[in-house]
Structure formats: structure tokens, C-alpha cells
Amino acid sequence: MIELLWVDGTWAPRGGSPASEALRRALDPRKVKFTYVPYPADFGPATGMGDLSYEESKAIGAAALDRAVTESRELVVVGGYSAGAAVAVKYARDILPRRPRHQVLAVATLGDPHTPVHHGRSGIAGALHVPRPRFTEWAPGDPIADLPLGSPLRTVADLTGWMSVRTPEAAAPGRSRPLNVWRWRSRGGIRSAGPISRVRGGHPQLSRHCAFHGLRRWWPR
């Protein structure tokens, strides 16, 4: 048995986004135990006044994933969707090297802000290496996971990581407007319009592909 410890995206602190649920349903429960790892899933004022910044939320998520791996009785694959993918990457880079007893086989991510460089593109927050085998899926044109390397949206990602209404900069009039780039909801369908909606709306289908053609390499035979 493999346990997939999964961290969902923004607006889904306890899991349940369409993309993550499609992945859960596509896995064989006789071989893979799918477990959501709760965390704040906040993004400063983009998710709500007084919410944690993205970086704070991500750090809490990585700590929660650390505890979940410690408590698991199975061989583990860690992973996540969108902001949850960044949590899994943070755990793998910052915590896992200090946990020699953690039996983590791989890192699996979907719509990853740290998608590796591919054909002049990568995740919006920059490509990051992880110290385990990695399986990453993205939808072509996804602005979170498949962005041109020179895109100005990367600057927005850098500037908003620590924003919250607890800082004067974030509370200043007009300063929260750039955060609209993160208003790409994963719960209850995509609520933004245009190409972004169509790309991210295809993630449930991508999740099923991930289950059948990617994660199965770690399933027990």
C-alpha cells in the first residue's frame, strides 16, 4: 500500500477541489490510500481580509505535511494541486532532507507553481528541484504552471507572496489589485473568465491522466 498525502489548492484548506477529487476517484483504493493534508490555503487579501499570506500559509502546510509523513504507516508519495503543490515542494526541499526516517518515494504535483523549465516555460514562481523522483502535470497555457520565462506575471508572484492586510503595503489603496492574478478558484468551478477558466477547468481531466499514467509507477503490483 502507498499513501498519497495530498495538499489541495487555494480556497480548499481541507481538500475537495474538482481537480483533487478527480485524482482521488481515479486511484485504486486497494493500492493507494489517498489522504488530504489540511492547511490554511490562504493568499492574503485575495482569499479574505485578515487571511495569512501565501508564504505563511505554505509554511504551515509544509509543517502539516511533515507531521502527516511522520504519522503514516505506509510508504508515502507527497503531492498537491496548485498552491498545495508548492507546499509539497517546500516540504521536499526544506524539511525532507532533515528527516532520514521519512519513507517518501516521490513528489507528485498538478498545476505546480514550481513546474520545471520546459520549452522556455515553467511555473509562475520559478522552477525548483526536489530531492526525490518527481511527477508533474500541467495544462498547456496554465498561467500558474506553464508560463513563459520572461512573463511579467512572475514579478506579481514575487511581490504578493508575503502580502496580507496586516502590512501597510498590502492595505494601501490599489495595492491589492495585482492579487487578482491569483483569483483562479478551484472550488465549485472556475469563477474567472476567458482562457484562464478554460485551462484550469480542464484540471479534473488532467488529474485522471495523472492517476493512470504517472502515479501508477509507484503503485504496488
CB atoms within 10 A of CB 14: 10
d(CA 187, CA 195): 18
Q: Would you say residue 72 has pLDDT above 90? A: yes
**Mean pLDDT lowest for which of 106-110, 193-197, 200-204?**
193-197
**Mean pLDDT lowest for which of 15-19, 52-56, 107-111, 151-155?**
151-155
Counting Cα atoms < 13 Å in the Cβ hemisphere of 68 gives 26
In DSSP terms, 75 is beta-bridged to 2
For 98-148, write each residue's pLDDT tens digit: 999 999 999 999 999 999 999 999 999 999 999 999 999 988 888 899 999
d(CA 139, CA 123): 11
Q: Which residue has the higher pLDDT, 184 or 49?
A: 49
d(CA 102, CA 117): 28
Q: What pLDDT is stored for residue 188 in this prediction?
A: 34
Q: Sign of dihedral through CA atoms 86, 40, 165, 142?
A: positive
Residue 76 phi/psi, 5-degree rounding, is: -120, 140
In DSSP terms, 109 is beta-bridged to 80, 136
Q: Which domains does the chain have, with CATH numbers?
A: 2-218 (3.40.50.1820)
Which three-class secondary structure state does DSSP give residue 8?
A: coil
Burial of 150 (0-12, 13-18, 19+ CB in 10 A): exposed
d(CA 193, CA 139): 17
d(CA 98, CA 192): 40
